[in-house]
Amino acid sequence: MENDKRGRQLPRMKEAAADAEASPDLLWTNIEVRYAPIVSLLDGSAYGYEAVPFRKDTGRRWTAEAFFAAAEAEGTLYACDRRFREAAIRGLPVRRGGAKLFLPVPACIVNDARIYPGTTLRRIEAAGLRPEHVVLQFLCRSSEEWQTLQAALRHYRLQGFRIALSGIVPERESLRRMSLLQPDYAQVEGGWIAADAAESPSAPERGTAAAALASRAVDESLLGAITTLARKEQIVLIVNGIAGEAQIAPLVAAGVGYGQGDWIGAESAEPGVIRASAAEQIRQEVSRRYRGAAGTLSDLTLSVATFRYDTPVSEIARHFEWQREAHGFIIAEEGRPIGLLMKDKLHQLLSGQFGLPLYWNRPVGKIMDTQPMIVDESMPIDQVSQMSMSREPDKLYDAVIVTREGKVAGIASIRALLEWVTHARMTDAQWANPLTGLPGNEPIRRELMRRVAEGRPFAVLYADLDHFKWFNDRFGFHRGDDVIRYTGEAIASYIRTVVPEESFVGHIGGDDFIAVLTTADPVGLSRGVLERFESGVGAYSDPDAGPVLDREGRAVDSDGISLSLALLVCERTEGWTPEKLSERAALLKKEAKRQKGHSLAWETVESERRAAAGQGDLTLR
């Protein structure tokens, strides 16, 4: 493999071509289709299965790149691609809940004269699937295939298929291609993300630890850049090649939705093989990170050395010299914190006229702070920041001791707390909708992930204006902006009045809004939203506005602009992700829009699997 600037391996089609040259005798009879699980990095449930070629002679998986490159070298690309698709679709005897089939496709195949439009569509319909159940995964090669790839995406999108772009790496050209092609999914190669967690080193190993921490920081920055780009372009990320538990924390922190790899589950002839320990580790990491209303203190906790009460001050001073990045040490008994010693306080004591002879050989317990700030790792950062700023002036900038079930988990600096709060405020302002001031897509995603991670019942209400395009054309965009603002205010004010503590209202964009809430009567609340909207929207219209027109300019039977609501009541959160919730709500919204005037379609489901099986309760207003 080729290496990036940091010496890490990155996948390349050159290797696939070389693999092909080494296997000129490849025949379809030597290949069978297996399924590699793609899981949600929110709860470890199966989101989909990627069809992968498996070599019978060697008993190991082949990459799709290598398989198609070998077929192309033999001149059998069309035949192998066709048989691979048929076998992959045929291998799913029933649709497995809400799981999707990810089907690798070579982009160049679209130029083959033997390709007849609609062939793949007919095959999946014959298997009881619909286009939205299948994601066509295009192999992302080089810029030389740019036009071919664009043609392939147009060809299959017209048939209703979702599109995935594979082989994304943290390089400018790769990210540029992802941005311009606008796939529904982008599969990021995860081999460059550190798979081994750095352990807290002893003093002689501090150089190695510093390098590991620096490397991890670069990984997180690269991952953050990719996820930020994906969110702005509304692309769902899937990280391939997850090889160890240590990779889960940075992926969850960055908000990556899905992942796959041998650590999660190996490919198999029957879909559904996910390692139970991997799924449990994902759930634990998400619960740790999202259990609070905002980021929790565990996000900022750093490992730090602990010492006994009777440790000589001289030994503590030497450890401060060895670990220059440390600003404080914890004094503990049987793992439970009993005190804190900050570096600046120690230096202040020792620098006095009699400091060294008086304190040098005394036990640290005699000079430690016996009443430090000790909080559990699950406490929200906002709350910890406010508490820390309320301390006595001489302790204002002392570190915070973080515990897990009463035992020492680490330490958090005041600088890290303040930087996090500042960044959170800037991020919220950055993602706020400029027209309504309501939170935008990133805060919406965080809120949905938090609700799912908590595991408690909640409801999601999607709101969409009907005939807004006609209204905008008829009355002008200034009046249209006024209606958007009014809609946001009507929804937010009503919901915050009814459930002020358990509600979140966001503006997805355009005339689409969302509310996430916990209430005993979500249907009654939704009807109240419609009544609140209906009571004031008439002020923005004129009685003699003329006939209402649809997007094609045809007159429709309508009294004017109206509001459609889609309410999804989640009794259980198992299997749900923000993307799955959006897909489900989109179907409900279509049902609501079929009704004349203000309307509500709602559904109660116990889990995503039950919803996929069609066992919800659908009601129209």
pLDDT digits (tens, 9 = 90+) for 492-511: 999 988 887 778 999 999 99
- In the chain, pLDDT over 70 holds for what percent of residues? 83
Distances (CA, A) of 461 to 448, 568, 583, 584: 12, 6, 13, 12
What is the side-by-side order of every strand in the sheet holding 512-517? 503-509, 512-517, 458-466, 562-570, 599-605, 617-620
Q: What's the mean per-residue pLDDT of the chain?
A: 80
> Which one of 3.40.50.720, 3.30.70.270, 3.40.50.12590, 3.10.580.10 gives the CATH number of domain 432-620?
3.30.70.270
Give the per-residue pLDDT at 110.
67
Of the two residues 470 and 610, the one the predictor is more confident about is: 470
Gyration radius of the chain's alpha carbons: 29
Model confidence pLDDT, tens digit, residues 76-118: 888 888 888 888 888 775 554 557 889 998 877 766 667 666 7
Q: Please name the helix (run of DSSP H) or strand (run of DSSP E) that holds residue 258, with its range, or none.
A: strand 258-259
Close Cβ partners of 541 (under 8 Å, ≥ 6 residues apart): 471, 475, 560, 561
- Whole-model pTM: value is 0.57
Distances (CA, A) of 256 to 42, 62, 163, 224: 9, 26, 18, 9
For the ranges 98-107, 172-181, 433-442, 537-546, the lowest mean pLDDT is seen at 537-546
How many residues are given for the chain? 621
| Alpha-helical regions (H) of 499-577 | 522-537
User: 189 has which bridge partners?
Assistant: 240
Give the per-residue pLDDT at 621.
43
For the ranges 136-140, 160-164, 213-217, the lowest mean pLDDT is seen at 213-217
Q: Rounded to an integer, what is the distance from CA 212 to the centroid of its chain?
A: 25
Task: Give the span between the Cα atoms of 168 and 188, in whole angstroms.
Answer: 5
> Which one of 3.10.580.10, 2.40.110.10, 3.40.50.1860, 2.80.10.50 gives the CATH number of domain 300-420?
3.10.580.10
Strand-strand pairing, 236-240 and 258-259:
parallel
Beta strands in 394-534 (DSSP E): 400-404, 407-412, 458-466, 503-509, 512-517
Model confidence pLDDT, tens digit, residues 316-356: 999 998 988 888 999 999 999 999 999 998 988 888 878 88
Are 54 and 36 contacting, i.e. CB atoms less than 8 angstroms apart?
Answer: no
Mean pLDDT of 601-612: 65
HSE, CB side, 13 Å, CA atoms: give it for residue 576: 33
The ranges assigned to domains in the chain are 2-289, 300-420, 432-620
Instruction: Name the nearest CA neighbour of 111 among 77, 73, 88.
Output: 77
For the ranges 149-163, 303-317, 363-377, the lowest mean pLDDT is seen at 149-163
> Which one of 3.40.1350.10, 3.60.70.12, 3.10.110.10, 3.20.20.450 gives the CATH number of domain 2-289?
3.20.20.450
Close Cβ partners of 27 (under 8 Å, ≥ 6 residues apart): none
